[in-house]
Structure 1
Amino acid sequence: MILDQPIKNWFVSKRGSDSNLKSLLKSISWRIVGTLDTIIISFLITGQLTMALSIGSVEVISKILLYYLHERVWESATKAKEHESEKKYA
Structure 2
Amino acid sequence: MIVDQMIFNKKIAKQSFEEDKVSEKPVRSVAKALSWRVVGTIDTLVVSYVLSGEIALAASIASVDFLTKLVLYFFHERVWNKVKWGK
TM-score normalised to structure 1 length:
0.53
Unaligned runs of 5+ in 2: 1-19
Match status 1:50 vs 2:56: yes
Q: Deviations over 1:37-86 (max 9, x none)?
A: 1001001111111110011000111111111111122122228xxxxxxx
Q: Return the alpha-carbon distance in structure 1 between the equivalents of residues 47 and 69 of structure 2.
A: 16
Match status 1:65 vs 2:67: no
Q: CA deviation at 1:31?
A: 2.3
Match of 2:83 among 58, 77, 80: 77
TM-score normalised to structure 2 length:
0.54
| Superposed CA RMSD | 3.3
Q: Return the alpha-carbon distance in structure 2 between the equivalents of residues 27 and 40 of structure 1.
A: 20
Runs of 4+ in 1 over 6 A off after TM superposition: none
Task: Please say if residues 33 and 70 of structure 2, whose CA atoms lie closer than 8 Å, have aligned partners that are also in contact.
Answer: no
Aligned residue runs from structure 1 range 14-25, under 5 A: 24=31
Q: Give % identity.
A: 42
> Number of residue pairs matched?
64
Higher relative contact order (CA 8 A, sep 6+): 2
Unaligned runs of 5+ in 1: 1-16, 80-90
